[in-house]
Amino acid sequence: MRKLLNTLYVTSPNTYLSLDGENIVILKDEAEALRVPLHNLEGIIAFGYTGASPALMGACAMRNIALSFMKTSGKFLGRVVGEVKGNVTLRKTQYRLSEDEGESHKIAKSFILGKIYNARWVVERATRDHGARLDVDKLKGVCQTLANALKLVEKSQDLEQLRGFEGEAAAQYFRVLDDLILQQKDDFYFNSRNKRPPLDNVNAMLSFVYTLLAHDTAAALETVGLDPYVGFLHRDRPGRISLALDLMEELRAVYADRFVISLINKREVNDGGFTRMENGAVIMDDDTRKAILKAWQSRKQDEIRHPFLQEKMEWGLVPYAQAMLLARFIRGDLDGYPAFMWK
């Protein structure tokens, strides 16, 4: 497998990213704050009002380093994309499939099967690990519902039906997400998903982590030559990385949600790191963001065994492996797209 390189997260506002030879140099108040060789990097994510030199952008584009800009909230603003990789034939096939409702449905089905399977796994795993502290019957019930949802999804006939089943399954899963939070319950609770803006600490964290994951799936798709903007489940919308969001579905619960919950349960974040605005919107402070990024980076380095490829790899490479499998399916090497189904 490919080597997992680092992603550089630049969180301090009012910095400037510049290029010096083969290095990225971060300037703060015109003084050098950090210098990192580009060849160690896979991606750079800059938060807040950060500037970057055209020379650096060019160097990233040439080396296939994904350079993204986000608001401090984690909202995605834009990214620098180099020359399109890979062959046009692959992309054309992708576009053709995406315009075909039937074919789109088949692929979208895999994403959703993976999504529900993994959501169920997260719940099931909690009942096993913390059975004594949880309402096991309630959780088992949700597991059963999600297992049924898988059957319905398998039998679904079109995208609309698929979205319907997916919506219900997601609601069931989110209904118990709060149960999985076992520490700091007064400050961290989850009632429902809200994002514009996030209205509680958990939603603020989820939004932030989803953006990180979306950056990774988009970059992975780009690397294998697929167009991250043209999806199967998510339909085209200008500026939306639909395929990256498609690919993210199966990773949300098992990669992102579980990560957020473990940060809370391990007390790596606390209420002091969140600010509530007058309108109820919740904002994370810089230290919390840094703590999350640090944990995310180290999480990416954990080794797992890929269930389909049967190969050891780091968590951080999973989006890449899935993007590659998707490309393999699109170019006809596989009879379907094998979702990542965590065991």
Partner 1 sequence: MEYQEEDFLLLSGIQHFVFCKRQWALIHIEQQWQENLRTVEGGILHEKTHDNTIKEKRGDLIISRSMRIFSRTLGITGTCDVVEFHKSRDGVTLYGREGRYKPVPVEYKRGKPKQGNADVLQLCAQAMCLEEMLLCDTTEGYLYYGDPKHRLKVLLDEEIREQVKAICQEMHELYDRRYTPKVKPTKSCKACSLSELCLPKLCKNPSALAYMKKTISEIEVDK
Q: Least distance (Å) from partner 1 to the CB of residue 57?
A: 18
Query: What is d(CA 59, CA 82) in angstroms, rounded to the nearest whole number?
Result: 9
- In terms of C-beta density within 10 A (0-12 exposed, 13-18 middle, 19 or more buried), how is residue 128 classed? exposed
Q: Does 147 bind partner 1 (CB under 8 A)?
A: yes
What residues contact 86, with CB distance under 8 A and at least 6 apart?
224, 225, 226, 327
The site that binds partner 1 (CB under 8 A) totals a number of residues, namely 34
Instruction: Name which of 101, 112, 326 is nearest 226 in CA terms.
Output: 326
To the question of whether residue 166 is assigned a binding role by annotation, the answer is yes
Amino acid at 248: M
84, 64 contact by CB (below 8 A): no
| Residue selected from 131, 235, 308, 312 as contacting partner 1 according to rule CB under 8 A | 308
Query: Out of 43, 225, 231, 316, which residue is the one contacting partner 1 (CB under 8 A)?
Result: 225
When asked if residue 157 is in the footprint of partner 1 (CB under 8 A), the reply is no
Q: Please, what is the minimum distance in Å from the beta carbon of residue 213 to partner 1?
A: 22
Residue 327 in contact with residue 97, Cβ under 8 Å?
Answer: no
Residue 297: partners with Cβ closer than 8 Å, 6 or more residues away: 6, 7, 9
Q: Does 160 bind partner 1 (CB under 8 A)?
A: no
Give the x/- contact pattern for partner 1 in 46-85, rule: CB under 8 A. Answer: ---------------------------------------x
Distance CA 274, CA 9 (A): 20
Range 83-102, binding partner 1 (CB under 8 A)? 85-87, 89-90
Which of 51, 102, 167, 307 is the binder for partner 1 (CB under 8 A)?
307
List residues binding partner 1 (CB under 8 A): 1-2, 85-87, 89-90, 110, 113, 117, 120, 147, 150, 154, 225, 307-311, 324-325, 328-329, 331, 333-339, 341, 343
